[in-house]
Amino acid sequence: MSAHVIDGRACARALKASLTADVSRLTGQGLRLGLATIMVGDDYSSGAYERRLRKLAEQVEVPYRHHRLSSDATQDEVVAVIEALNATPGVSGILVLRPLPAHVDEAAIFRAIDPAKDVEAVHPENAGLLALGIPRFVPSTAASVFHLLDSYLDSVGEDRADFYHRSLIVVVGRSNNVGKPAVSLGYERQATVQSVDEWADRTTGIGRHTRWADVLVVAAGKAGLVKAEHVSENAIVLDVGINPQVGSDGAVRLVGDVDADSVGPRVRALTPVPGGVGPVTDVWLLRNTVAAAELLAGRIPSLSHPDTVLEAS
Ligand code: NAD
């Protein structure tokens, strides 16, 4: 790989250090905060994410609790857990891990979360605020993508505003939790933004769009989807995909949506998998949890931009 490798682990370490200091200061001032996660069933990737969050929460001393429900739990049972957490003062952030089983209505579950504790902005009120460009919370993965991108631009001395105003950002994948929020954050930076979904892949192919991208954000959940022929030479590529692959030795390793071997030598910069967007996302969720505690306590009015989350206090 000859592109600049955007080091998500180093970025996450820096964010973690400032978060640890913030948690210590704010809890010292009596602020009550904590993250609660809910998982229904036993999806491999969700389980791995939950374990990472648990460990990180311990390290930065954010109180953490996890509710594990069996895959046959009813919708009412899941809602009951959420309602109990809504009413728990020490819980400032609630995360429902996806995927949910097919018999559980995801939209109904998200609507049950108190919007003030909805740190992934999945409640319609928060998703709407994000789409309007006045977010209460910014979903952690899209926030992390743009934090890495902003930091990379700063590191090479590019003026952010000038870069975004003249750039085309293409987002591959249109999920409510990653692709659409990433599009909103591109709009917020006044870039030109295109959203490419599997329908484009099935008809014209994604390359027709992605080849023009100055910034390519890939969140499709398809290992190796983006190859050298899909990218331009000056592209900055942010690979969100995390796809478990079982090797011949039976060990599971994680690969991205970008075929780094072929894309790396061609583009300007690339986030690796693992070690790119993922580690930053984990810290961001806890940042949002701390910010939610400040919001709940009325200490900050709103989170107008992801980078201002904690500096406002
Ligand atoms: P999702 O399944 O909810 O959505 C995937 C989107 O990609 C959909 O819009 C789908 O139509 C589109 N898509 C599927 N195949 C496509 C193709 N061939 N061409 C173009 N678009 C295609 O998934 P998600 O929750 O958005 O996650 C996407 C990936 O990102 C997964 O690998 C997931 O594990 C990973 N992820 C990573 C992080 C992180 O922190 N790095 C966080 C969340 C999700």
Kindly report, residue by residue over 138-193, the tens digit of the pLDDT. Answer: 999 999 999 999 999 999 999 999 999 999 999 999 999 999 999 999 999 999 99
Determine the pLDDT at residue 218: 98
Determine the pLDDT at residue 305: 45
Grouping H, G, I as helix, E, B as strand and the rest as coil, residue 47 is helix
Q: Which of 77-86, 146-155, 233-242, 246-255 has the lowest mean pLDDT?
A: 246-255
Determine the pLDDT at residue 19: 98
Tell the residue nearest (CA) to atom 31 of ligand 1. 221
Determine the pLDDT at residue 312: 35
Q: Quick one: average pLDDT of 92-111?
A: 97
Tell the residue nearest (CA) to atom 40 of ligand 1. 278
Q: Which of 80, 6, 84 is nearest to 268 (CA)?
A: 6
- Distance of alpha carbon 148 from alpha carbon 150, whole angstroms: 6
CA of 265 to the centre of ligand 1 (A): 24
| 35 has pLDDT over 80 | yes
What band does 2 get if pLDDT is binned at 50, 70 and 90? confident
Please name the residues in contact with 262: beta carbons below 8 A apart, sequence gap of 6 or more: 227, 228
Helices (H), 113-176: 124-131, 140-155, 160-165
CA of 313 to the centre of ligand 1 (A): 34
Please name the residues in contact with 33: beta carbons below 8 A apart, sequence gap of 6 or more: 23, 26, 27, 62, 63, 90, 92, 93, 289, 290, 292, 293
Q: Where in the chain is the domain with CATH 3.40.50.10860?
A: 20-123+279-296
Determine the pLDDT at residue 151: 98
Apex 280 CA angle, 71 and 4, nearest 5 = 130
Which of the listed residues 15, 95, 175, 254 should we mutate to test ligand 1's pocket, taking the one with most ligand atoms within 8 A of CB?
175
- Distance of alpha carbon 199 from alpha carbon 219, whole angstroms: 14
Q: Are 89 and 30 in contact (CB under 8 A)?
A: no
- Distance of alpha carbon 229 from alpha carbon 242, whole angstroms: 21
Q: Where in the chain is the domain with CATH 3.40.50.720?
A: 140-277
| 225 has pLDDT over 50 | yes
- Distance of alpha carbon 218 from alpha carbon 170, whole angstroms: 8
CA of 221 to the centre of ligand 1 (A): 4
How many helices (H) and strands (E) in the chain?
Answer: 12, 11
Determine the pLDDT at residue 313: 33
Q: Which fold has domain 140-277?
A: Rossmann fold (3.40.50)
For 52, the token pair is: 């990472």
For 64, the token pair is: 């953490």
Apex 253 CA angle, 276 and 257, nearest 5 = 50
| Residue pLDDT, tens place only, 40-71 | 999 988 998 999 999 999 999 999 999 999 99
- Distance of alpha carbon 58 from alpha carbon 133, whole angstroms: 33
Determine the pLDDT at residue 302: 65
CA of 273 to the centre of ligand 1 (A): 14
Which of the listed residues 6, 198, 254, 273 should we mutate to test ligand 1's pocket, taking the one with most ligand atoms within 8 A of CB?
198
Tell the residue nearest (CA) to atom 9 of ligand 1. 174
Tell the residue nearest (CA) to atom 6 of ligand 1. 173
Q: Are 100 and 118 in contact (CB under 8 A)?
A: no
CA of 206 to the centre of ligand 1 (A): 14
- Ligand 1: residues with CB < 6 A are 45, 141, 172-175, 177-179, 196-198, 201, 206, 219-222, 225, 240-243, 277-278, 281
**Which CATH class for the 20-123+279-296 domain?**
alpha beta
Helices (H), the chain: 8-28, 44-60, 75-86, 106-112, 124-131, 140-155, 160-165, 179-188, 198-202, 207-210, 260-263, 277-296
Q: Are 155 and 306 in contact (CB under 8 A)?
A: no
Alpha-carbon torsion (247, 229, 151, 242), positive or negative: negative
Backbone angles phi, psi at 280, to 5 degrees: -70, -40
Q: Which of 42, 119, 127 is nearest to 86 (CA)?
A: 119
- Distance of alpha carbon 193 from alpha carbon 2, whole angstroms: 27
For the entire predicted model, the pTM comes to 0.94
Chain-wide mean pLDDT for the chain? 94
| Residue pLDDT, tens place only, 244-303 | 899 899 998 999 999 999 999 999 999 999 999 999 999 999 999 999 999 999 887 666
For 285, the token pair is: 């969720």
